[in-house]
């Protein structure tokens, strides 16, 4: 991921994993194993991608005086951790007849709040019958 509130759409990957499973109905949980990234559901279009970055910059701005930054020499991503805490690291989506129960405009995305590019690990767990 690229950092700086970059958004990556994961909907097709989750749909592909679900279609490869032998399950007909249940839930899919998508979890990112990092404190500076989040998984969420949005209408994924360019305007909302830009608005999402803007709202995070306004709500929790980068600030060298965040305690995480001042107590850990060299750290500048206190705001990235706070954004991750606020947004959360997972979503759970039901599925029926091997189809995600997403609304017409809903897409599954991961947002990377960190200050630099990083490799991100995801866990996608499918449970059902």
DSSP string, 60-127: S---TTSHHHHHSTT---HHHHHHHHHH-SEEEEEEETTEE---TTEEEEEEE-SSS-----EEEEEE
Residue listed under structure tokens 């305690």: 67
Summarised one tens digit per residue, pLDDT across range 19-62 is: 999 999 999 999 999 999 999 999 999 999 999 999 999 999 99
Query: Which of these, 117, 5, 91, lies nearest to 52 by C-alpha position?
Result: 5
pLDDT value of position 1: 77
pLDDT number for residue 38:
98
Above 80 in pLDDT, residue 6? yes
Confidence band, pLDDT 50/70/90 cuts, at residue 17 = very high
Q: What is the pLDDT of residues 70-116, one digit of tens each?
A: 999 999 999 999 999 999 999 999 999 999 999 999 999 999 999 99
Domain parsing of the chain, residue ranges: 6-128
pLDDT of residue 94: 98
pLDDT over 90 at 125, yes or no: yes
25 vs 15: CA distance, rounded Å: 13
Tell me the CATH number for domain 6-128. Answer: 2.60.120.460
Convert 54-84 to b/e letters by CB count within 10 Å (16 or more is b). eebeeebeeeeebeebeeeeeebbbbbbbbb
């Amino acid at each position: 991921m690229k950092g700086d509130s970059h958004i990556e759409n994961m909907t097709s990957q989750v749909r592909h994993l679900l279609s490869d499973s032998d399950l007909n109905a249940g839930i899919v949980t998508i979890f990112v194993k990092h404190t500076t990234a989040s998984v969420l559901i949005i209408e994924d279009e360019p305007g909302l991608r830009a608005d999402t970055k803007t709202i995070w910059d306004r709500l929790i701005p980068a600030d060298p005086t965040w305690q995480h930054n001042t107590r850990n020499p060299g750290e500048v991503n206190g705001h990235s951790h706070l954004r991750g805490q606020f947004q959360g690291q997972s979503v759970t989506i039901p599925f029926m007849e091997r189809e995600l129960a997403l609304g017409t405009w809903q897409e599954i995305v991961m947002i990377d709040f960190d200050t630099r590019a990083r490799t991100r690990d995801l866990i996608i767990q499918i449970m059902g019958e």
